[in-house]
């Protein structure tokens, strides 16, 4: 099994007097290898930039701040192993991640046992926060808003009626496809079929089967729930089969890897996202963030880089506040309760969390790849509170 461990700084610094400096670690868990490594790396980079910029504050407090980056490979089973490694390290006081909802959901019992605060930059599945766990939070929107946004766009802007729903079999992809289908039916769209594919890259036989189903259902629009690898396979296959249906997906397509995999077939694809183009964010010092990130990593930030940056800073702010107040390292429970109560002005805007750990108001976008280049162009933007149960 492949692991990636990244530490900013040394594990321990000893002063001239022989006294050890207390170490605080922020963990980040994302796919750093495999099919989604491109997006996972941009999440890690957002967290790493936050740690680098907070170093001087923590040094003044007499603390050594480190980043612990771990590769969950976008696999729930690997995520569980990563979670166990994180919670046994008493120096870790918070986690940014996981990037994938399905991985987070599988690992939650382990974090619950340690009361370790989790702030996800990208988990959109409602189940992540609907369990009401006091240590679980997210700084992005939810699929039960994102899916309906896509349904309403198809009806009002694309003026289409017949929709075929396809998903990639992952918790994220299936969840948003179901949220889309529920709203689509409620507003009068005809969902002519609902297809759940095997996870991961599709085989030639699986692609052929999907092509036959598209011909059978003859949809005006294909709505796809899932991430970029299978999405790119489907889009390229649509072009090759000369299908005329428009293609609409979720934020799993909002990354440069999708465009790289799909090539020219990415042109014209619509997608929703809980994050708009970074320079269009309404938060604090967005241009400065982009400049600093680009300088640090020699590439511009992508979709969830600023969300990882904000998630990291919320955890670090909680730790620093508690240490300044009590003159000792806080417990994980103290960090969790302080994060939940924070009001944070970040790159992605003002963040206030509700009782479940959802952002009280989140942004949602409809975008299109007008050319086969990342990022997409914003077609529509709205703000919405999470659904009330």
- Map tokens 């005329």 to a residue: 244
Distant-in-sequence, close-in-space partners of 278: CB < 8 Å, separation ≥ 6: 286, 289, 290, 300, 301, 302, 303, 305, 306, 375
Q: Is the model's pLDDT at 17 over the cut of 50?
A: no
- Map tokens 């919320």 to a residue: 314
Q: What is the mean pLDDT of residues 344-365?
A: 97
Q: Is the model's pLDDT at 61 over the cut of 60?
A: yes
| pLDDT for res 7 | 53
Q: Name the least confident of 20-34, 198-212, 307-321.
A: 198-212
pLDDT mean across residues, the chain: 94
Comparing 120 with 242, which gets the higher pLDDT?
120
Binned at pLDDT 50, 70 and 90, residue 96 comes out as: very high
Binned at pLDDT 50, 70 and 90, residue 68 comes out as: very high
pTM over 0.85: yes
| pLDDT for res 27 | 98
Percent of the chain at pLDDT exceeding 90? 90
328-336: long-range contacts, CB 8 A cutoff, minimum separation 24: 329/22, 329/24, 329/63, 329/93, 330/93, 332/93, 332/114, 332/115, 332/116, 332/117, 332/135, 333/115, 335/93, 335/94, 335/117, 336/115, 336/116, 336/117, 336/134, 336/135
Percent of the chain at pLDDT exceeding 70? 95
Tens of pLDDT along 162-203? Answer: 999 999 999 999 999 999 999 999 999 999 999 999 988 899
């Amino acid at each position: 099994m492949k692991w990636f461990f990244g530490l900013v700084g040394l594990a321990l610094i000893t002063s001239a007097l022989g006294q050890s400096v207390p170490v605080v670690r922020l963990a980040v868990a994302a796919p750093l290898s495999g099919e989604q490594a491109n997006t996972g790396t941009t999440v890690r980079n957002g967290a790493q930039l936050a740690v680098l910029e907070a170093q001087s504050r923590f040094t003044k407090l007499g603390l050594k701040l480190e980043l612990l980056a771990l590769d969950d490979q976008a696999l729930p089973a690997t995520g569980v192993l990563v979670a166990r490694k994180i919670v046994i390290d008493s120096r870790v006081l918070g986690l940014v991640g996981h990037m994938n909802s399905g991985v987070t959901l599988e690992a939650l019992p382990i974090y619950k046992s340690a009361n370790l605060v989790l702030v996800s930059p990208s988990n959109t599945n409602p189940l992540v926060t609907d369990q009401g766990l006091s240590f679980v939070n997210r700084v992005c929107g939810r699929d039960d808003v994102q899916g309906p946004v896509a349904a309403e766009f198809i009806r009002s802007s694309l003026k289409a009626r017949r929709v075929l729903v396809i998903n990639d079999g992952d918790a994220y992809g299936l969840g948003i496809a179901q949220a889309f289908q529920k709203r689509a039916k409620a507003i009068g769209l005809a969902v002519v079929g609902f297809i759940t594919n095997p996870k991961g890259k599709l085989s030639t036989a699986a692609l052929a089967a999907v092509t036959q189903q598209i011909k059978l259902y003859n949809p005006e629009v294909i709505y796809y729930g899932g991430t970029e690898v299978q999405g790119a396979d489907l889009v390229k296959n649509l072009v090759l089969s000369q299908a005329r249906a428009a293609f609409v997906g979720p934020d799993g397509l909002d990354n440069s890897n999708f465009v790289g995999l799909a090539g020219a077939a990415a042109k014209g694809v619509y997608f929703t996202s809980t994050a708009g183009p970074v320079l269009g964010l309404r938060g604090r010092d967005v241009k400065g963030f982009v400049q600093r990130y680009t300088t640090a990593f020699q590439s511009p930030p992508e979709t969830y880089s600023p969300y990882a940056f904000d998630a990291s800073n919320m955890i670090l702010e909680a730790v620093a506040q508690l240490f300044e107040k009590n003159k000792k390292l806080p417990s994980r429970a103290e960090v969790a309760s302080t994060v939940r109560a924070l009001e944070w002005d970040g790159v992605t805007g003002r963040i206030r969390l509700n009782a479940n750990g959802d952002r009280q108001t989140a942004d949602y976008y409809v975008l299109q790849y007008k050319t086969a280049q990342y990022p997409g162009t914003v077609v529509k933007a709205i703000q919405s509170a999470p659904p009330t149960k």
